[in-house]
Chains A and B, each alone.
Chain A
Amino acid sequence: MSSPSPALCAAAAASCSTPLRVASPVVRFRRSGAPASVVSAARAAAAAPAVSDDLVLRIAEQLEDSVGASSPLLDPLRSASALSLLSTRWPTRRSNEAYRFTDISYLRSLPISLPSQPLAVAPPASPYASHVHFSDGVLTSSSGAHVSALADIPPGRVRDRAAAALAASAEFADKDIFYDFNAVGAKDVAVVHVPEGVSMADDPVHIMFSYSGCGDGSMMMSNPRVLVVAEKGAEVAIIEEHFGVGQEDGGCYWANPVMEIIVEENAKVVHSYVQQQSFVAAHTKWTVVQQNTSSNYEFVEASIGARLNRHNLHIQQLGPETNTQLSTFHFSAQNKQIHDLHSKLILDHPRGRSHQIHRLIASGTGNGIFDGNIKVNRYAQQTDAGQETKCLLLSSKALVNVKPNLQIIADDVKCTHGAAISGEHDPNAIYFLQARGIDAKTAADALNFAFGAHVINQIPFKPIEKKTLSHFKALLASSRQNEK
């Protein structure tokens, strides 16, 4: 990438406190070969009311150095995010409401490194014809109809659509620091573009993200990015799987993926997301969905890995009569493991339907957080929105913080929500199993399993469902051993 002039750097840095949008070329944190200037750029920024943060700038700078040549289509997004990083402070529990219950200090506990060059790794086997593989955040392979790397898309309609979507992402108002890191650090984007009226519902696109870490005592950060566009009347199923590979206990790394999904009129996206990262990894993820008129989005999540897991799930309704189904399951099985889901569903149009269920198990000294926001704005009349969260605490030291919240401005709506936190199962269910000869302990184990299986069972693809269930079962058994 050509280096912009120092003057432009300074101008860009100083402009961050104003709403001025910087045109391409991308904002630089540092002039090439001038390592000290990042601080001075920050100082320049700090002269304005906005405050910069050395840690944030350091990471941003590392990311920018690692990216090298990238598609110019990413430039608007990258410069917008670079600009906001200049004035973003590292979130803390005190300073940032969105992190009030989530201790992300684990991310600061180790130095951060970045994969220097794409690793020559054979892609993991997929049972599906359409698949994409990211190795430590680098898009290494993609195959199947309508699936491609952004860099490989020939000029034309598909490329223009992707460019427009990425440019629009630059305007994403609810983003946070991790979204910006991804935008600055993403080298390429995997694009799934399903043309109008095409149905691939039974032929899912399997997107695999494998992570290995570098094993040198640092935390290797990666920023994979995926864009899914389902055009009018199209149907597509996405399986998104994140997992550690290589080292026996799993590598130490920081995965910071972003998945953006655009569901156009009458289109349908079925999205299954499984997170089985290593237990020393950090996983901060964004899923951003836009739903147009009469579209369907069905999402099933099973997050059972990572030491620190934060998922921001953001769904915006762009037209009436949308249908949104969200089912998520988080399992904090290990000591000090943190699982956090922040979901936000914004309804702005009439007759939207949504149903959200959230399940969380915390054992040992595990920690779970759920903030589920549903906004039913003024014109979202006749919305039917339901939300239900249930948490199960398997030990006296487990901790959960749940904040289900519905903000309703429209006056003709049906909204329900329920939250339950419990340390034990329904005694009637336990007794029912006992009455069939199953002892109370085995019965409780079966119900713990059922608690998660209830969500995992909704993954519509058998091989993925079975694999996730058996992984969950093994973790449940080992967490029980730990409790003893």
Chain B
Amino acid sequence: MGQNGSGKSTLMKVLAGHPEYEVTGGTVLFKGENLIDMEPEERSLAGLFMSFQAPVEIPGVNNYDFLLMALNARREKKGLPALEPLQVYPIIEEKVNALNMNAEILNRAVNEGFSGGERKRNEILQLSVLGADLALLDEIDSGLDVDALEYVAKAVNGILTPQSSVMMITHYQRLLDLIKPSYVHIMEKGKIVKTGDRALANYIDESGYKAIATA
């Protein structure tokens, strides 16, 4: 959590290797390897997933083909044979249903003409199909209605296992009611200035970030 402009999204993008950022120093160890040395796709294949705050429209790329391509990139990395479109359909369909999405979304171009909520859900669909050891979720609650948020939270909780983690950015308590965090970190000017548990989030909700900055 943190005020607007405190560097939360920047941190996520840097971790996920966004080309807008150049890392000038330091290392980021993920499963024993330095993320900074890896290409964005290598980070993804290593188990890092970032949901985009503003998912990109890709006209002409069918959403289903895109999921298949991403899934097969993972299988290739593991030395498994590529799957055919029909083999994957039941898997993807199940995830689509779990998110209470219309299966029609698979036939559309990636994010093209999607509403804000559809885009966010589409990000979580990618997460639930591809899986992740560490999922970075950037304001997945914005643009979602109450019901949609519940389905999204259920999907995120579904990928949480003792071996995997989720780091998420949010401004709202409702998401924290649904996905219960073990830790709450407060970021200010690019640094974590306070760490606590759920109680810290409640405190921020009541008193605002000023209370911490002056503390």
Contact A438 to B60, CB < 8 A, known contacts A427-B19, A432-B55: no
Contact A447 to B73, CB < 8 A, known contacts A437-B44, A439-B41: no
Does A467 make an interface contact (CB < 8 A)?
Answer: no
In chain A, what residue has the closest Cβ to B73?
Answer: A437
Contact A450 to B130, CB < 8 A, known contacts A437-B45, A438-B41: no
Which chain A residues lie closer than 8 Å to B50 at the CB level? 435
Name the interface residues of A416-445: CB closer than 8 Å to any CB of B.
Answer: 426-429, 431-440, 442
Q: Which of A432, A442, A452 has the most CB of B within 10 A?
A: A432
Name the interface size band of chain B. Answer: 20 to 34
Residue contact B58 to A434, C-beta cutoff 8 Å: no
Contact A436 to B44, CB < 8 A, known contacts A431-B18, A431-B19: yes
Contact A442 to B73, CB < 8 A, known contacts A431-B18, A432-B52, A437-B44: yes
- Bound-state CA distance A84–B42 (Å) is 65
Does A148 make an interface contact (CB < 8 A)?
Answer: no
Does A243 make an interface contact (CB < 8 A)?
Answer: no
Residue contact A434 to B39, C-beta cutoff 8 Å: yes
In chain B, what residue has the closest Cβ to A457?
Answer: B60
What total count of A-B pairs have CB within 8 Å? 79
Contact A447 to B58, CB < 8 A, known contacts A434-B41, A435-B40: yes
Which chain B residues lie closer than 8 Å to A433 at the CB level? 58, 66, 69-70
- Residue in A437, A446, A454 whose beta carbon sits within 8 Å of that of B41 in the complex: A437
Residue contact A454 to B59, C-beta cutoff 8 Å: yes
Determine how close the nearest CB of chain B comes to the CB of A160; give it in whole angstroms: 45
Which chain B residues lie closer than 8 Å to A435 at the CB level? 16-17, 40-41, 44, 50, 52
Does A379 make an interface contact (CB < 8 A)?
Answer: no
Which chain A residues lie closer than 8 Å to B18 at the CB level? 431
- Residue in A428, A436, A447, A449 whose beta carbon sits within 8 Å of that of B70 in the complex: A436
- Bound-state CA distance A433–B62 (Å) is 13
Q: Would you list 9 pairs from A and B whose C-beta atoms are within 8 A, ordered by A residue?
A: A427-B19, A431-B18, A431-B19, A431-B56, A433-B66, A434-B17, A434-B44, A437-B70, A457-B109
- Closest 7 pairs between A and B when the two form their complex, measured CB to CB: A450-B60, A454-B60, A437-B44, A434-B40, A436-B70, A453-B60, A432-B56
B residues with CB within 8 A of A: 16-19, 39-41, 44-45, 50, 52, 55-56, 58-62, 66, 69-70, 73-74, 77, 109-110, 126, 130
